[in-house]
Structure 1
Amino acid sequence: MTDSNSNSRYIRWLTYLMFMMFAMTSDSVGEIIKEVKVAFSVTNAQASLMHSLPMLGIALSGLFLGFLADKFGRKNTIILGLAVFGVACYSFMVANDFVLIVSLMTLSGIAVGIFKTGALALIGDISSSTKQHTATMNGAEAFFGVGAIIGPLIVAYLIHTGVAWQWLYVIAGGVCTLLITIALFVKYPSYKQSHADEAEKVSLMQSLKLLKNPYALGFSLGAFLYVAAESAIYVWMPSYLVCDATSVKATYDCYAEGSAQMLAIYSVTAFFVLRALGRFVGIWMMSHFNWALVLMLFSGAIVVCFAGGLMGGKQVALYLFPLTGIFMSVIYPTFNSKGISCFPKHQHGSVAGVILFFTAAGAAAGPFIMGLVSDANGGDAKYGFMVATVFAAILFVGLLLNFIFNPTQQRLEEIEASEYGAN
């Protein structure tokens, strides 16, 4: 019993660190784009490929390779994904060409799709209940939030000290090597098949059939709407908060001296800090409260913050937009957890891949649609946030209906009894 608990603890920390490592690189892309545009004289559209192509890689990898965790095991899939990610990271040491940089970022996205679906499936194996599954998922996303904070800080420090930003990926490669070593020596739990021939049924076609399943599709659409709304904060909030959008240099002199100007400059960091803190609190919250009620209330608060920030202007948005980090904190990990928990453990990898596909699609499509709408209205980021508010409002309506009708209650109770009852 002690050895089992010890292994579960090691595996849980291994999962947390994988999420943190991924966020260190993915959420630093904004800082990196600024350097790459100058170094290689690329356009905004070309530079945006550094964000959209890795997201596409994650999306396609999650959808078409998510079944690997169910067919070949969590450990093998995680080590494969980490190995590919590590090779991509170390290759940045010789990446002095824009095409090669974008190619390596895309490869790292594909690798993330592989090891993340394996990790998400593994969370089900080490959880003793669907409630603990949700708490662990919030923990993983909390560490993702930590990585989202320290990654950009590392890039900023490297650039400030005259060191190439590529060393961020070398650092991530070192973390990846450590994680592979841990994964090789830690004993993973074996997940039980419902039938003797279930392993043979796991395939790409079976994974794609999940797109028709109402539980998988419902939570996936929720993830798409959430990520599309969330991306407005870290992609478009800086553009909305600047005092003069036509100026070449960002100015914040329209805010009061001191703390207000400082908050405007570091608004995205403030958002990420609040989101990370909220996810740590979410570990406790999701173990003690009705998840459907929490998500309904928090999604409504996001709509209020977005609408208030638009109606009140920059002076109000300065506080309300970063504040959404608290309310956004528990939504995505809970979508992931409950969506995966609606299925038996031998399908967790495939389901995680489907949800990951919609997640990455939302991250890629949301900012793009907002940018198009803003450009069509004179380039004002306010119009992009109007689109984000619509996404958030649709999400709220869906979660309100979910709370009222509770369509997953019976399904989750069945899975609780069949998959976790013996633990």
Structure 2
Amino acid sequence: MFMMFAMTSDSVGEIIKEVKVAFSVTNAQASLMHSLPMLGIAMSGLLLGFLADKMGRKPTIILGLAVFGVACYSFLIANDFVFIVSLMTLSGIAVGVFKTGALALIGDISSSTRQHTATMNGAEAFFGVGAIIGPLIVAYLIHQGVAWQWLYVIAGGVCTLLIVVALSVRYPSYVRSHKHDVEKVSLLKSLTLIKNPYALGFSVGAFLYVAAESAIYVWMPSYLVCDATTLRATYDCYSEGMAQTLAIYSVTAFFILRAAGRFVGIWMMSHFNWALVLMLFSGAIVVCFALGLVGGKQVALYLFPLSGIFMSVIYPTFNSKGISCFPRHQHGSVAGVILFFTAAGAASGPFIMGVVSDSMGGDAKYGFIVATVFAAILFVGLVYNYLRNPTETRLTEIEASEYGS
């Protein structure tokens, strides 16, 4: 499921290049193809996240997959910009439903908070694989003269297969702390989690991280283009053939490094202090962004994709530790809250960058300056998290009460 979602969401940078030409839209308008689906995920996670706790993991996942599949197959008749954006938004709402169910399910199959973090990194690693496959499929389709919309039809086929699998698989049951917890689960109870300092802290961290990360796959292709005034991307400013190839497949290179880092993250989070790792890696992201801006396209060509290694473990760990601060009967609801902030960051970040870039003549460089500010704020927050360790007591309590260790 994570891989299928990434195939579509992380291909948006490549798709935007085609849509801008086909429909003659501005950077800000084109960014709606990313921002509105993320907004759909955000509102779905916040308002419907409790379904995983109320209905159960399996029905929630199947419901989300069904809606996502309908949206994907509808791209066969999508040839209008507004219709395309509407379908992307609907798919985002569906993702918010099945992803909260999946995130809650991870808690059901984990035996400790440490294993929860490792498993989350494993799930997000498959998201990284999908992020590699998606842009490659789009690039191949365009090269063959086939409409990029077929990417969504392919995703719809995967979704149909997932529904069949979900119907046949036996899901584990999760133990509620109190018999009346089922009655407590509701939209109102889910919304009150926003005021919880643990949910809010990890949610704000997810917002900042995703706002910075999305700059790579949304705007890096536009930033690395040598002449943005031409209708077709050119990379003549890169002298070596290898450099030109890297410029063309920079997003894929970023996702390969991020996926590799997440598989390694399964091991890292089982052996090292997660707070120290996040602090060091977030600092490395700031360095990559800052030097990439100062050195220009020739330096950013290498440093921007390289940041994928350091981004790899941050979001899965935020998600895992945030969810692990709560008992299992609230995992769906708190996953929805974190997903809301995640999608809000993914929606607002690229849009703000697009607006800033347009105001400065259309140069994507200025959008990356905004992304660097997001990354710097995140680094400051993670330095505080490492030095003060505000979640240590809470995670210890949950370890004892929910996992019996």
Separation of aligned partners in 2, 1:357 and 1:402: 22
In structure 2, the CA distance between the partners of 1:44 and 1:339, relative to structure 1 (3 Å rule), is same
Separation of aligned partners in 2, 1:372 and 1:38: 18
Aligned to 2:144: 161
CA contact (8 A) 2:31 2:350 kept: no
Per-residue CA distance 1:216-239 (angstroms, 9 max, x = gap):
000000000001111121222233
Task: Kindly provide the amino acid, as one letter, of the partner of residue 144 in structure 1.
Answer: F
Task: Kindly provide the amino acid, as one letter, of the partner of residue 311 in structure 1.
Answer: V
TM (normalized to structure 1)?
0.91
Q: Is 1:200 aligned to residue 186 of structure 2?
A: no
From 35, 40, 46, the counterpart of 1:63: 46
Q: Is 1:406 aligned to residue 353 of structure 2?
A: no
Aligned to 1:130: 113
Deviation at 1:69, TM superposition (A): 0.3
From 44, 60, 84, the counterpart of 1:77: 60
Deviation at 1:246, TM superposition (A): 4.4
Aligned to 2:400: 417
Instruction: Name structure 1 gaps, 5 residues minimum.
Output: 1-17
CA RMSD after TM alignment: 1.8
Q: Is 1:229 aligned to residue 212 of structure 2?
A: yes
Separation of aligned partners in 1, 2:266 and 2:333: 25
Task: Kindly provide the amino acid, as one letter, of the partner of residue 343 in structure 2.
Answer: A
4+ runs deviating over 6 angstroms = none
Task: Kindly provide the amino acid, as one letter, of the partner of residue 111 in structure 2.
Answer: S
From 374, 377, 395, the counterpart of 1:391: 374
Separation of aligned partners in 2, 1:39 and 1:389: 31
Q: What pairs up with 1:119-268 in 2 under 5 angstroms?
A: 119-268=102-251
Instruction: Name structure 2 gaps, 5 residues minimum.
Output: none
Separation of aligned partners in 2, 1:245 and 1:160: 20
In structure 2, the CA distance between the partners of 1:258 and 1:94, relative to structure 1 (3 Å rule), is closer
Aligned to 1:110: 93
Per-residue CA distance 1:234-289 (angstroms, 9 max, x = gap):
22223333334445544333333222222222222111111111111111111111
Comparing 140-149 with 158-167, greater Cα deviation is found at 158-167
CA contact (8 A) 2:41 2:92 kept: yes
Aligned to 1:3: none
Per-residue CA distance 1:8-39 (angstroms, 9 max, x = gap):
xxxxxxxxxx0001111112223333444455
How many matched pairs? 405
In structure 2, the CA distance between the partners of 1:169 and 1:252, relative to structure 1 (3 Å rule), is closer
Deviation at 1:126, TM superposition (A): 0.3
Per-residue CA distance 1:182-201 (angstroms, 9 max, x = gap):
11121111111111111101
Separation of aligned partners in 2, 1:238 and 1:21: 22
Aligned to 1:281: 264
Q: Is 1:269 aligned to residue 252 of structure 2?
A: yes
For residue 75 of structure 1, give the secondary structure of its aligned residue in structure 2: helix
In structure 2, the CA distance between the partners of 1:31 and 1:387, relative to structure 1 (3 Å rule), is closer
Separation of aligned partners in 2, 1:254 and 1:405: 47
TM (normalized to structure 2)?
0.95
Aligned to 2:274: 291
Aligned to 1:319: 302
Per-residue CA distance 1:95-153 (angstroms, 9 max, x = gap):
33433322222111110000000000000000011111111111111111111111122
Task: Kindly provide the amino acid, as one letter, of the partner of residue 87 in structure 2.
Answer: L
In structure 2, the CA distance between the partners of 1:402 and 1:356, relative to structure 1 (3 Å rule), is same
Percent of aligned pairs with the same amino acid: 87
Separation of aligned partners in 2, 1:255 and 1:409: 49
In structure 2, the CA distance between the partners of 1:315 and 1:155, relative to structure 1 (3 Å rule), is closer
Task: Kindly provide the amino acid, as one letter, of the partner of residue 51 in structure 2.
Answer: L
Q: What pairs up with 1:323-342 in 2 under 5 angstroms?
A: 323-342=306-325
Deviation at 1:158, TM superposition (A): 2.4
